[in-house]
Amino acid sequence: MSKGIWKLKVKKDFSAAHQLRNYGGKCENMHGHNFGVEVEVKGNRLDSRVEILMDFKELKRDLSEVLETLDHKHLNSTEFFEHQNPSSENIARYIYKEMQKRVETEHVKMVYASVSEKDSSVASYSEE
């Protein structure tokens, strides 16, 4: 039997305001977005009892916990973005790192986290 990989993906959103320091345009002013977020995990072994990689419910709960730290906040005022720009790229990295702490095990690994300010503009972060 060939060795396969399973991938799970969940999506959520949050609303927040931010300002892009040193941008030199309108985005230096405080403005808000309804950010879309997508995260994906992967693994090569299913739980032997239930035969799932991980429970979608747990993955969604973990993402909700991470997004709660950002939702309805002025991102520049949060600890993580105090000294770095809350760009979509850096927000994606923040979500990835926080999810990594929560979901990674011997058999489950983060693949990526993506953040969109609108459907046509998506920033993703991975460590692959």
The answer to whether residues 100 and 110 touch, using CB atoms and an 8 Å cutoff, is yes
What is the chain's mean pLDDT, rounded?
A: 96
Q: Is residue 1 scored above 90 in pLDDT?
A: no
Could you tell me the pTM of the whole model? 0.95
> What average pLDDT does this structure show over 51-77?
98
Per-residue confidence (pLDDT) for residue 16, from 0 to 100: 98
